[in-house]
Structure 1
Amino acid sequence: MLIDNKEFTSKGLHYTIRSAVLKDADSLSHLRLQIDGETEKLDREPGEAFIDREGFEQLIIIDSENERNIFLVVEIGDKLVAFSRCEGNPLKRFSHKVEFGVGVLKEFWGYGIGKNLLKESIKWADENNLSKMTLQVLETNDKAVKLYESLGFEVEGVLKRDKILSDGNYYNTIVMGRFMNKK
Structure 2
Amino acid sequence: MNEDVDVTIREALPKDAKQIVEVSQTIGSQTEYLVMDEYGTNLPLNLLENQLDTIYNSDHQLLLVALVEEEIVGSASVRSSEEKRVAHIGEVGISLLKDYWGIGLGSILLEELIEWAQQSQQIRRLKLTVQKQNTRAIHLYEKYGFQTEAVMKRGATGDDGRFLEVLLMSKMID
Asked if these proteins are the same fold (TM beyond 0.5), I'd say yes
For 1:175, the equivalent position in structure 2 comes to: 168
Contact 1:33–1:50 (CA<8 Å) still a contact in 2? no
Give 1:36's match in structure 2, choosing from 28, 47, 69.
Answer: 28
Does the residue aligned with 1:177 lie in a helix, a strand or coil?
strand
Q: Deviation string for 1:29-55 (max 9, x for gaps)? A: 111111111000111221165233223
Mapped contact 1:81–1:108 kept (Cα < 8 A): yes
2:152 maps to 159
- Tell me the C-alpha RMSD between the 2 structures: 1.4
Secondary structure of 1:45's counterpart equals: coil
Query: What is the CA–CA distance in structure 2 between the aligned matches of 1:88 and 1:180, rounded to whole Å?
Result: 14
Instruction: Provide the rounded CA distance (Å) in 1 between the counterparts of 2:6 and 2:135.
Output: 26
**Contact 1:161 1:172 survives alignment (8 Å):** yes
The match for 2:104 among 109, 112, 128 is 112
Secondary structure of the equivalent of 1:148? helix
Deviations along 1:50-90, one digit per CA (max 9) or x if unpaired, are 23322321221111121110010011111110011111101
What aligned pairs does 1:4-23 form with structure 2 within 5 A after superposition?
11-23=3-15
The 1:46/1:31 distance shift into structure 2, 3 A limit, reads same
CA distance in 2, matches of 1:68, 1:90: 8
Q: Any gaps of 5 or more consecutive residues in structure 2?
A: none
1:74 and 1:164 mapped to 2: Cα distance? Answer: 28
Partner Cα separation in structure 1 for residue 51 and residue 103 of structure 2: 27
Q: Which amino acid aligns with 2:149?
A: E
TM-score (norm 2): 0.94
TM-score, length of structure 1 as denominator length: 0.89
Indicate whether 1:65 and 2:54 are aligned: no
Paired residues of 2:27 and 2:40 also in contact (CA < 8 A): no
**Which residue of 2 is the match for residue 150 of structure 1?**
143
The answer for unaligned runs of 5 or more in structure 1 is: 1-9
Q: CA deviation at 1:103?
A: 1.0
